Amino acid sequence: MRYISIKYLQPCFTAFLVITMSGFTASAQQTIPLETADNVLVLQIDQTKRLNTLYLGAKLANTTDYALIGDARSSTADFTGMFRSAYTPAGSRNVLEPAISVTHADGNNSLDLQYVSHESKKLAADISLLSIRLKDPAYNFEVTLFYKSYYEENVIEQWCTITSGEKGTVTLQKFASANLNLQAKHYWLRQYHGDWAKEMRPDETELTHGIKTLDSKLGTRANLLMPSVFMISLDQPATEDAGQVLFGALEWSGNFRTDLEIDPQENLRVISGINNYASAYQLKPGETFETPAFVYTFSAKGKGPASRNLHNWARNYKLLDGKGTRLTLLNNWESTYFDFNESRLSGLLKDTHNLGVDLFLLDDGWFGNAYPRNSDHAGLGDWQENRRKLPNGIAEIAKTAQADGVKFGIWVEPEMVNPQSDLYHRHPDWVIKQPQRDEYYFRNQLVLDLSNAQVQDFVFHTVDSLFIKDPGLAYIKWDCNSVIYNAYSVKLGNLQSQFYVDYVRGLYNVLKRLRSKYPVVPMMLCSGGGGRVDYGALQYFTEYWPSDNTDPLERIFIQWEYSYFYPAIASANHVTDWGKQSLKYRVDAAMMGKLGFDIVVSKLSPVDLKFCQDAVAAYNGIKAVVWQGDQFRLANPDQGSVASMLYVKPDQTCAVMFNYLVNFRYGEGSHSPILLKGLDAAKRYRVKEINLYPGVKPVIDEQKSYSGDFLGKIGINPVVTNERSSVVLLINESNQ
C-alpha cells in the first residue's frame, strides 16, 4: 500500500488516498531509508499506518534489501504492534515508555499517531532534512518528526514539532525529541555522573530489563550531577576500534531525560528529550511546540570513529566558529580571586604580554558598588564596575591592554543575583523563589527568571553594555554557578509547569540576540566548572570550561571522557597550581585543547617562565593540529599506567602525541611501544620531542625516520617514566 497525502484547505487536516497497487500484497509496507556515509536508519510504515523503526546500524550494500529486514529480524510476537514505534504515543495501544503523552482539550489521555506524508529536502551537499507528518485519527493533533542528516559525518539530529488544532487547550505531559530503537543481544551503557570538580565520571554497565533513566532536574547548571551524553554498545562493550556503538546527546541546556528500555522482544528503546518532570506544557489552539534536537552517531568500528564523527559535525556545523581560531589567555581567577585593583591588573596585563598569550581574562569580582563583589556573597546582578577596584572602568583596562599589545576579555554571570545586591531589591519579581517559602541558596545566590522577557532584556543589555564600554572586547566568560531551587516564576502565574522549558528558551533568546549583534566574539561556556556543557548552548559558544578541577592528572581523565563527545578546540584548559605534577606536566595537559594559564606569572622562576614562554610558542606551532586534527585515543588512562592521545592533521603530514604517566607507583611507565593511528602507511615520519623543560635532553632519537605503516603496527615508545611523566612528541612527515 502507498499513502499519498492530499492537503485540504485547513492547515492541520490531511486526508489519505490509499492506493492499492497491483502486485502489492496486503503485507507490503513502505520503507523510508535515511542513509549517511556508513549508516542507515530505516523507518517503515506498517499496514495500519503506524511508523516504526526497522533498523539503525551499518548500511547495507543494496537499498532494496531494507524491505527484507523486518522478516529477517522478527522474533516473538509484538501483541501491541508498536514496540518499535518511531515515536511512541501514550494511551492507546502502547504498553511501554512513551515518547509523547498528552491530555486533549476534552480531558482524554489517549493518543494515536498515524502516518500522513513525508518529504526529504537536500539542504546542502552534505545535509538532508527528512520530515514525516503523523496525525491522530481521532483528534486534530499532529506531530512532525524531523531527521537532519549529515552524510559525511554520519550524524543525525532528530527533533519534532507538536501541533494542536483542537478547540481548547491541550496539555503535553511528555514530549521527547527522539525515540530510537536498537537491536542486539546485549546492550552496554556508558553514562556519566559528577559533581563540582568531579565532572564526567563514567559508569559502564550492561542494561537489564526495565527502564534505566538518565536525567537532570537542576534547571540551570543542569549537568552538575549528570550530563546528557551517553553511549550504547551493542552485543559487547565497544573498544576504541571495534564494536557497534551509538553516541547520543540532547541539545538542551536544562532538564533532560533519557529512558532506555529493553522491550519484550529484546530491542532497546531510547527515548530522549526535555525532562517532563514538573513540566506539563500547554498548547493553545493552533500552537506548535518544537522540541530541541537529540543528536546521535553510530559506528560499527568502535568509539574512535563515533567520536570523530561528532567532532567533525561539531566543528563543521554546530560549535560556534568551529573551523576558526581561538585565543590563548591568562586568567586571573586563581591568582587574585576577588582581590585586585587597577594597578594589580596592569601588572597582570604585562604578565600576559610577557607570557606570550593573546588575551587577558578578567574574572569575577570587578563589579558592584552598594554591595561590592569582594566575595561570592554579594554583588551579582549589579554589573557596574566597582569604583574602588576599577575607578576608571573597564574601558581603562582595555586601553592598557591595547597598549600592552594584548586583548581583553571579561567574566560575567548574568543569569544570577545575590540577595545582597541592588538588583534583588529593585526587582524582587525577577528572582526565582517560592513566594511562601524561605529562600535557599546555592553559592549564596539565586537565579533570575529568564522566562520573563524583561529579564531577558536585562541579561542582553548586561552583556551588550560591556561591548559598548569596550568595543574591542575580545572574549566573554559566561558563568552560571547556581542550580534552581524553589522553582517559581512570578511572570508565569498559573503556568508554573512551563517554567523549566521557558527558562532555557529565554536563555537561548538572549544568546541568539547577542550572536546576531556579535557573531564571532569568542565566549566560554562555564558553569561552576562543567555544569553546562551541551550542544544546545555550544552553538552560541566557542568553547567550554570542562571543570574547575585543573589538577592535570584529574584533567587527563576528565578531558578524556569529554573528548568522546566534544572536539579539542572547544575544551578550555588552563594551567594552574592545582595538583602535584610538574609545571611541564600541567602545561602539556592543558595543551590538549585550548591553552590558557591561571597562575601568578610574576612569581615564576626565570626558568619556569622561559619554559612557559617556549611552550606558548610551541603550542602556536601545533594548535591547528590539535584543534582541527583527527583525534585518536591511543592508551586509556583507566586501563594502564600511561595515557596517550594523538591528533593527526587531516592531510596526514603532521601529528602530535601527548603521553602521561597516570600511575606514579615505583617502576610504572610505558614499557612497550604505543601504536599510532591515523597516519599514512606510505609516508615516512620523524618523531621529535617537544615542550622539553629547559636543560632536559630528549630521549627520543629525532634522526630516525619511520614509515606510517611501522608506526601503526610496531609503534613508538614515548619512554614515559616517573622521571619523564609527561612527554609530547611531534610527528612530521619527512622525505627520507
CB of 390 to ligand DGJ, least distance (A): 17
Shorter beta-carbon distance to ligand DGJ: residue 363 or 689 = 363
Shorter beta-carbon distance to ligand DGJ: residue 411 or 647 = 411
Which residues would be at the binding site for ligand DGJ (CB under 6 A)? 333, 363-364, 411, 479, 481, 526, 528-529, 545, 548
Shorter beta-carbon distance to ligand DGJ: residue 89 or 529 = 529
Indicate the residue whose CB is closest to ligand DGJ: 364
CB of 534 to ligand DGJ, least distance (A): 16
Q: Which residue has the cell 586501563?
A: 639
Shorter beta-carbon distance to ligand DGJ: residue 130 or 526 = 526
Task: Determine how many CB atoms are found less than 10 A away from the CB of residue 264.
Answer: 15
Measured in whole angstroms, the distance separating CA 556 from the mean position of its chain's CA atoms is 18
Helix, strand or coil for residue 261? strand
CB of 364 to ligand DGJ, least distance (A): 4
- For residue 456, report the phi and psi dihedrals to the nearest 5 degrees: -60, -45
Shorter beta-carbon distance to ligand DGJ: residue 480 or 569 = 480
Shorter beta-carbon distance to ligand DGJ: residue 383 or 545 = 545
CB of 178 to ligand DGJ, least distance (A): 31
Cell numbers at 539, concatenated: 552553538
CB of 361 to ligand DGJ, least distance (A): 9
Q: Which residue has the cell 537529540?
A: 294
Asked if residues 394 and 363 have their Cβ atoms less than 8 Å apart, the reply is: no
Shorter beta-carbon distance to ligand DGJ: residue 254 or 528 = 528
Shorter beta-carbon distance to ligand DGJ: residue 368 or 529 = 529
CB of 548 to ligand DGJ, least distance (A): 5
All residues at 6 or more sequence positions from 398 whose CB lies less than 8 Å from its CB, including other chains: 408, 469, 470, 472, 473
CB of 375 to ligand DGJ, least distance (A): 10
Alpha helices in 409-551 (DSSP H): 422-426, 453-469, 499-517, 535-538
CB of 692 to ligand DGJ, least distance (A): 30
CB of 464 to ligand DGJ, least distance (A): 21
CB of 329 to ligand DGJ, least distance (A): 12
Continuous segment of H or E residues that includes residue 611: helix 606-628
3-state secondary structure 115-147: EEEEEEEECCCCEEEEEEEEECCCCCEEEEEEE
Cell numbers at 167, concatenated: 478547540
DSSP 365-429: -SB-SSS--SSTTB-TT--SB-TTT-TTHHHHHHHHHHHTT-EEEEEE-TTEE-SBSHHHHH-GG
> b/e map of 635-664 (b: 16 or more CB within 10 Å)?
bbbeeebbbbbbbbbeebbbbbbbbbbbee
Shorter beta-carbon distance to ligand DGJ: residue 294 or 545 = 545
Q: Cα dihedral angle (88, 255, 569, 630), rounded to 10 degrees?
A: -30
Helix, strand or coil for residue 669? coil
Shorter beta-carbon distance to ligand DGJ: residue 219 or 529 = 529
